Amino acid sequence: MTNYTVNSKFNDPFNKVHFGVSISERNQLEEFAKVLRSGAKMVEIDVASVYGLGGEQGNAADTIGKTEREAIANLAKTNDVDLSVHGPWAINFSGINPQTGKKEDVYEHFVEREIGTALEFADDISKKTGRENMPVIFHASSDQFSDPDKNLIYSFYDQNEAKIIQVTQQEIDLGIDKNSVSNPEERKRLAMQKFKDIYGDSFYQEVFENKNNKKLGFVSDDGKVILNPEGALEFYKKSKSQQLNQERASLNISLRNLEYQQTDLSTRMGSLKTKLSDPKISADDSNKYQKEFQKVEREIENVKEMSNTLNQKYAELEIAEKNLPNQFIPYDKKAPELAAQGIVKAAMFSYNNTESKPMILVENPMSPEMSLSNPKDTAEAVRIAREQFAKELQEKQHLSLREAERISSNLIGINLDIGHINIFKSYINPKTGQPYSDKDIVEMAKSAGDYLKRYHLNDNMGNKDSHLPLGQGNAPIKEVYDAMMEKGLDVPAIMEVFGGLGGLEGGTIQSLQYMGAPLYGNLPYVSLPAYLGQPYSSIVGDYSAYSNLGLKQDMFSYGGFSSIFPAVGGGYMENKGNSGFSGAPTA
């Protein structure tokens, strides 16, 4: 028997490292056949929402009928291929409509229908292949309510209104007349003093003298206070507090007036009692005073009722004032809890409505502007979802805690997309004040922890979800993979590498060569022999991947493959960052 020398963990890549390939949502059968020629034993079928079509069109799973599903299942079964499904990427597990920031029945129904359609698609194929728990991947969120660069926008959740509110930079005009005060420094001094007089010393210090060296605002030369988004949130809370105080002051005046009114009525009632007790009172006077007494008695009851209502309202305002610091919380802290609710619904649908019980894998979204884009937040959402799902299984299915937790852990997990994390490089890391580095990306990836069940491996240039072949961008793919292996997290990896010229087949071969699979050569892909021997590559394809050349920005105006229309193998995101990596997304 031959003994093979294994000098790389990427020998026999489709077996030892559990590499698989993703096929796009168009012509799945044709793409499937291409992938089989490469020897892959794992394939991910994309049924993401069809680009350019509205929500009423549904996702691509709607267009794949019974015959096509049977064909896919037969191919998988015959070739012993382990399948997974990429569900609609435009899914917001929280059920919050990104347009309004609130939960709406119509939007929640749409989300649940999209999730159910993808799970039923996976179930149909699983039943024919005889396998269970097929992974179905959903992006964690598709909203635009959370941004790691708080200098641009700040999103917070109003727990009383159950609504997301966004704030940006805010300008407060304090009425400092430039014509009256010509000296800019004097205008600034007057503006700061006026701000302190209006909003109090405590808020003044919070804005201009923050102890953490993080000022929330400044005064412009024309005497206006400019608050950054975080400062605008504090101003919003301060304004809300002042509004509550004004309402309480108004209630105090009303209550005091009611007290005076009740005193007057009580005095009148006492006088009427005296008159009615007079033995010499005539029948006519007695009748008149009795009617007046009853009228005053009704007025007193009305005053008491009004007083009780106002006192109750006053107590509610006091509670609101007390709870104000906790009413508004950063949305990225609330997002895991809200998303977990939708994840639990999806898991319950899989458990109750399918035979094969597909697995729900939550993927960190494609842009740092989206909530849950940081794997630690995705992990928190999955942690909460697992706990809640296990609790529901105990209560509704009468399972033991141990069994409920086993099922929950099996059905809910994370699909970590390394390319998505790499886009953080176009943003500033608030901890360092510098753009996110490779080390930061690796640490973020590690935060997925034990919830990790799958990878998406693809490359990009740090600013777009380009889906380039591995090694053609600057994502620290090998570093992330090695870090996870060191943690003992040896999980299957799906290559989403259809974004370069040469398409799926070219991207797969290029990626495996980059990762050191000896079947495709031991030399780096950009080496001259490998380049000339690569039938799927092109000069434009290789050299638009500027990281291979050590360049700091793309040589081509279209920004690499990511701006090419998806039908010809490009990405589908607009550029949310600067290709020069200045650290902040462009408007």
Q: What is the mean pLDDT of the chain?
A: 80
pLDDT score of 57? 52
Report the C-alpha gap between 530 and 525 in whole angstroms: 6
> Is residue 319 included in any domain, yes or no?
no
The string of pLDDT tens digits covering residues 146-155 is: 767 777 888 8
* Torsion angle of the four alpha carbons 118, 123, 124, 126, in this order, in degrees rounded to the nearest 10: 130
Asked whether residue 308 is assigned to any structural domain, the reply reads no
Residue 528 domain flag: yes
Report d(CA 51, CA 244) in Å as an integer: 47
pLDDT of residue 555: 33
> What's the mean pLDDT in 469-488?
88
Q: What's the DSSP call for residue 356?
A: S
Strands 154-158 and 163-167: antiparallel
SS3 129: helix
Concatenating the DSSP letter of every residue in 477-536 gives HHHHHHHHHHTT----EEE---SSTTHHHHHHHHHHHHTT-GGG-SS-TTSHHHHHT-TT
Decide if pLDDT at 28 tops 90: no
Residues ≥6 apart with Cβ < 8 Å to 491? 18, 452, 453, 454, 455, 484
Backbone phi and psi for residue 476, each to the nearest 5 degrees, phi listed first: -80, 65
Q: Which domain holds residue 434?
A: 19-150+331-568
* 250 located within any domain: no
Q: Alpha-carbon distance 19 to 470, whole Å? A: 13
Least-confidence region, from 460-464, 474-478, 575-579:
575-579
Alpha-carbon distance of 481 to 483, in angstroms, equals 5
Which residue from 95, 106, 84 is spatially nearest to 32, judged by alpha carbons? 84
pLDDT at 505 over 80: no
- Identify which of 422, 411, 419, 353 has the alpha carbon closest to the alpha carbon of residue 382: 411
At 24 the pLDDT is 66
* Burial class of residue 28 in the structure, from the number of CB atoms within 10 Å of its CB (0-12 exposed, 13-18 middle, 19+ buried): buried
Confidence (pLDDT) at 324 = 87
Question: Does residue 72 form part of some domain?
Answer: yes
Q: What is the pTM of this model?
A: 0.77
* Residue 558 forms part of a structural domain: yes
Could you tell me the two tokens for 309?
Answer: 């209502």
Strands 412-417 and 170-173, how do they pair? unpaired
Tokens of 366: 């494609």
Question: How many domains does the structure of the chain reveal?
Answer: 1
Structure-block tokens of residue 88: 């609609």
Is 55's pLDDT higher than 60?
Answer: no
Predicted pLDDT of residue 120: 94
Query: Which is it for the CA torsion 198, 201, 203, 205, positive or negative?
Result: positive
Which of 66, 452, 259 minimizes the C-alpha distance to 444?
452
Per the domain annotation, does 246 fall within a domain?
Answer: no
Note whether residue 457 is domain-resident: yes
Supply the CATH number for residue 62's domain.
Answer: 3.20.20.150
